[in-house]
Amino acid sequence: MSKVKAWISAARLRTLPLSISGILTGSAAAMLINKFNPLIFVFAMLTTLGFQILSNFANDYGDGVKGTDNADRVGPARAMQSGLLTAKELKMGMVITAIITLLIASMLIFAAFGNENFILSLIFFNLGIAAIVAAITYTVGKKAYGYRALGDVFVFLFFGLLGVMGSYFLYTHQLQHHIYLIAATIGLLSAAVLNLNNMRDRFADAKVNKNTLAVVLGEKNVKHYHAALIIIALGSAVSYFILTNEIVLQYVPLIAFLPLLLNIFTVYKNVNPPLLDPELKKVALSTFLFSLLFFITTLI
């Protein structure tokens, strides 16, 4: 495999649709009150993709160094695990990606605030730094929070609250319109994707002391937790649409919850965690479908 293909593999393209779901959702919410800006949209999408790719490089490096990626791993082989990229190459890739993403984030902040609001620009720049730190320290370092059952919390915060509410604020310079409800929807569904990943890898992670929430909760409780994530996300979405919309068309995105509700039953029936791997794609793509339908119906 060529180096280009190795880097594409390490970027884990299948994770990217989920990462932009928050931006699509926040942008659609802003569009509802006629605050959409195409330039902010493009920069926000590029920034989010940069953060996700950085996180994927860091996960590949962190789990590879710690020995978590081994023969027991169920999902697709990682670049470092397969010998396609070295630890040194991944570290350099992380540095370059972080710099490029921060530059794009700076352009996003300028597009949103210009020279008019230094305080807000500073706040969002620091949020960008925090996102970079969070992307790296999920698996990298002795105190990696992904090994301390905190991954779900950070995914909810960064994919949901920061992704949706942050992008909405970049357009509108305010937080209203019940945006916290739809932000919670994306955050909870993103946490459900991570939880499925951790359920799949529960036995392998336990062997290497990677204490994800799936490991901590155990088989029965983690299934209840997974169901709660999806059901509460549905409740948040329905509440948002009831409070903000008056036409039937705006409820179309709820169609995306049909496969998500079916996923709950699949998870409850599962007795062989590795078989949950295909469900990861279903939940991630359903979350993306929800945000895409929300964006399209709002545009219409």
Each residue's pLDDT tens digit, 278-290: 999 999 999 999 9
Q: What is the pLDDT of residues 112-150, one digit of tens each?
A: 998 888 899 999 999 999 999 998 888 887 788 888 888
pLDDT at 143 (0 to 100)? 81
Who's near 180: CB < 8 A, 6+ residues apart? 161, 165
Q: Between these two residues, 111 and 71, which has the higher pLDDT value?
A: 111
Asked if residue 91 is part of any domain, the answer here is yes
Show the DSSP H helices in the chain as ranges. 3-11, 16-19, 21-31, 38-66, 87-113, 118-137, 151-155, 167-172, 179-200, 202-207, 213-244, 257-269, 277-299
Domain assignment present for residue 8? The answer is no
Q: What's the pTM value of the predicted model, to 2 decimals?
A: 0.92
Range of the structural domain that residue 143 is part of: 19-299
Full DSSP string of 39-102? HHHHHHHHHHHHHHHHHHHHHHHHHHHHT-SSTT--SSPPTTTTTSS-HHHHHHHHHHHHHHHH
Average pLDDT (180-189) is: 97
The predicted-structure confidence for 6-39, as pLDDT tens digits, reads as follows: 888 888 888 899 999 999 999 999 998 999 999 9
d(CA 129, CA 109): 13
CB neighbour class for 278 (10 Å; exposed up to 12, middle 13-18, buried from 19): exposed
pLDDT of residue 59: 86
CB contact at 8 A, 287 and 163: no
Which whole number is the average pLDDT over 161-184? 93
Question: Higher model confidence: residue 116 or residue 171?
Answer: 171
Contact in structure between 16 and 63 (CB atoms under 8 Å): no
Coil, strand or helix at 226: helix
Dig out the tokens for 112 from the structure.
């949103």
205 occurs within a structural domain? yes
In a domain, 2, yes or no: no
pLDDT at residue 1 is higher than 60: no
pLDDT in tens, 40-97: 999 999 999 999 999 998 888 877 776 665 555 555 666 677 777 888 888 999 999 9
In a domain, 11, yes or no: no
Instruction: Establish if 6 belongs to a structural domain.
Output: no
User: Position 231: which residue type?
Assistant: I
Q: Which residue has the higher pLDDT, 249 or 221?
A: 221
Q: What is the pLDDT of residue 121?
A: 92
- What residues does 58 pair with on adjacent strands? none
Band of residue 176 on the pLDDT scale cut at 50, 70, 90 = confident
Which pLDDT tens digit goes with each residue over 249-261?
A: 789 999 999 999 9
Asked whether residue 13 is domain-assigned, the answer is no
Report how many domains make up the chain.
1
Residue 179 lies inside a defined structural domain of this protein:
yes
Given a cut of 60, whether residue 155 has pLDDT beyond it is yes
The pLDDT value given to residue 149:
86
